[in-house]
Structure 1
Amino acid sequence: MGLISGLKSSLQQVRESLFTEEEQKRIGIYGPPNAGKTTLANRIARDWTGDAVGPESHVPHETRRARRKENVEIERNGSSVNIDIVDTPGVTTKVDYEEFLDYEEFDQDEAVRRSREATEGVAEAMHWLREDVDGVIYVLDSTTDPFTQVNTMLIGIIESRDLPVLIFANKIDLDDASIKRIEDAFPQHETVPLSALEGDNMDEVYDKIAEYFG
């Protein structure tokens, strides 16, 4: 009798864990190269876990493989949201090895290798977007024109999957930043201004993450 009771108790615990434990939400950080995606991912990860996601660089396509930081718990207004952050490679229509030759630290062989890895990274980012993320943080450089083929395509894919999306207008610490330019390009989505590098307006960033992905 004791054995049967024990088995029933164990089965009940398994059922409760299956139906009460929420699956971790994967939030992809997307956008074009050098928009500040990794800087933002690191800012969020350091603020809430103390660890960075990956190296930052002024060189385009420094992130050439998706990197995931699990169990990032963001507490806002007495409640919390627990997410996995997926920092993805910058998406572009073409990766040219000559881009890397503009930097003295790369010879031709290294430039070719990086361009090949960056191209593979774009394909990986697209796979994550189509299959494996539950929401998107879309990062744009507010000093550049947001109305590009890549941005329009990616926002279209996000909308077709009916994913929750926040558009972050990054680099507002720079003199030629324009939040309105991004708002006008994608008026159907909320735009949140910030500087991931300087930490400007991060309170609103975290409020919105909790609101949209909680």
Structure 2
Amino acid sequence: MGLLTNLRDSISRVTDGLFAADEPKRIGIYGPPNAGKTTLANRIARDWTGDAVGPESHIPHETRRARRKEGVEIERNGRKVTIDIVDTPGVTTKVDYKEFLDHDMEKDDAVRRSREATEGVAEAMHWLREDVDGVIYVLDSTTDPFTQVNTMLIGIIESQDLPALILANKTDLEGSDVQQIANAFPQHETIPLSALEGDNMDEVYTKIAEYFG
């Protein structure tokens, strides 16, 4: 019985390993608030599944909990990858309820949202350290990328040895400067895009298949 049990356990481990290799890669979409992470997540999900991940908004910290779209299958140039998209809250060092007051919210609602956003940032950091297989890092190409948050997050990604793709978003806007992002993180490839307009998404999908496949 002991020999049969050991043999059965060995077969089970091999079988589990085979199935594990085919499991979707969990890819976290990270970046500062209002970089266009949810817009990108929705663009990817709609292009390949027809469904959105979550609501988009110009209000900062609208995504206050990680949202997940499972089983997104992307194929490019003979490469195929199945990913679970994790749209994470924008990471910042401080969430001030006054940011929400600027968008005509009542104080109680603003305080509640700021508390939820703070909890969401902690959740996003947990996902980054424990639960993602790769990262799509989204930056607004109209803003200065040299910030404490960006430096910290890229450092964590590198320390975790996670494959990372940096996207310079909002190229449709005046003042977009993709090169400043490429200069900020020269150790990583930077891909320009407009998630809102869908510009250059073919290259983004090619890179996703290449990096995470």
Judge same fold: TM > 0.5, yes or no. Answer: yes
* Counterpart residue identity of residue 26, structure 1: R
Moved over 6 A (4+): 10-13
* Counterpart residue identity of residue 142, structure 2: T
Unaligned runs of 5+ in 2: 1-7
Q: What is the match of residue 153 of structure 1?
A: 152
Offset at residue 11 of structure 1 (A): 9.2
Offset at residue 175 of structure 1 (A): 1.4
Offset at residue 77 of structure 1 (A): 1.5
Structure 2 distance, partners of 1:183, 1:128, is 25
SS across alignment from 1:41: helix
Q: Within 5 Å, which residues of 2 pair with 1:8-19? A: 17-19=15-17
Q: What is the match of residue 79 of structure 2?
A: 79
Does residue 174 (structure 1) correspond to residue 173 (structure 2)? The answer is yes
Structure 2 distance, partners of 1:119, 1:79, is 38
Deviations 1:66-95 (A, max 9, x none): 001100000111331101100000000000
Q: Within 5 Å, which residues of 2 pair with 1:1-214? A: 17-21=15-19, 22=21, 23-104=23-104, 106-214=105-213
Identity fraction in percent: 80
The TM-score with structure 1 as length reference comes to 0.92
* Counterpart residue identity of residue 176, structure 1: G
Offset at residue 61 of structure 1 (A): 0.1
User: Are the counterparts in 1 of residues 79 and 210 from structure 2 also a CA contact under 8 Å?
Assistant: no
SS across alignment from 1:139: strand
SS across alignment from 2:139: strand
Bigger shift: residues 22-31 or 145-154: 22-31
* Counterpart residue identity of residue 52, structure 2: A
The TM-score with structure 2 as length reference comes to 0.92
SS across alignment from 2:183: helix
Bigger shift: residues 192-201 or 74-83: 74-83
Structure 1 distance, partners of 2:156, 2:14, is 36
SS across alignment from 2:151: helix
* Counterpart residue identity of residue 165, structure 1: A
User: Are the counterparts in 1 of residues 65 and 89 from structure 2 also a CA contact under 8 Å?
Assistant: yes
Q: What is the match of residue 3 of structure 1?
A: none
* Counterpart residue identity of residue 202, structure 1: M
Structure 2 distance, partners of 1:28, 1:179, is 22
Give the paired residue count: 204
User: Are the counterparts in 1 of residues 33 and 60 from structure 2 also a CA contact under 8 Å?
Assistant: yes
Structure 1 distance, partners of 2:42, 2:15, is 32
Structure 1 distance, partners of 2:11, 2:41, is 36
* Counterpart residue identity of residue 129, structure 2: R
- Residues 61 and 16 (structure 1), Cα distance of their counterparts in 2 relative to 1, 3 Å cut: same
Structure 2 distance, partners of 1:78, 1:177, is 32
User: Are the counterparts in 1 of residues 142 and 176 from structure 2 also a CA contact under 8 Å?
Assistant: yes
Offset at residue 14 of structure 1 (A): 5.7
Offset at residue 169 of structure 1 (A): 0.1
